[in-house]
Structure 1
């Protein structure tokens, strides 16, 4: 959804997932198969903590990530799990080819 310096391959792969979601939704809709993508922003995980710790100033990097979200915080793994459960449930039965953005407002700016 957004680009950044030094991560072209990462950005390209994320864009590819969005287009793959749309194309496979078209291909499989008649079979009743729904294809959706869950697009999460920065989520407080051990992996992200490692990214912070690898930076010259971990606290400044964390503060920057938090400031870039409208909600002013990192997402939680349970929030991503809840969104995944929604997509897997009948509550999303009229969704296909969609990108569910769960990023605290990161991509809004």
Structure 2
């Protein structure tokens, strides 16, 4: 999956360019008050936006123990947005890269999981 995420095509698609990312204790201190704050209303507003260029991607790593997929799925199931029924009935599709299964994607309007 890392190989896919580092491709120019993928990085361009998610608008990260050639930016490098790192973590530090300093960032943790500044983000401390945001960790438990809800963004549900913000996400719903973006999903219901009339701007077709607004798309939302939720990515869960297979081994992520902090924000595991079931938690993300539960959050998304409880959103109130115009594509909720589509999301609830949509099936997860396979994502292949170089003929290897790399993940799954579920789409409902401008929401990608």
Q: Which has the higher helix share?
A: 1
Q: Which has the higher strand share?
A: 2
Shorter-normalised TM range: under 0.3
Question: Whose RCO is larger (CA < 8 A, sep 6+)?
Answer: 1
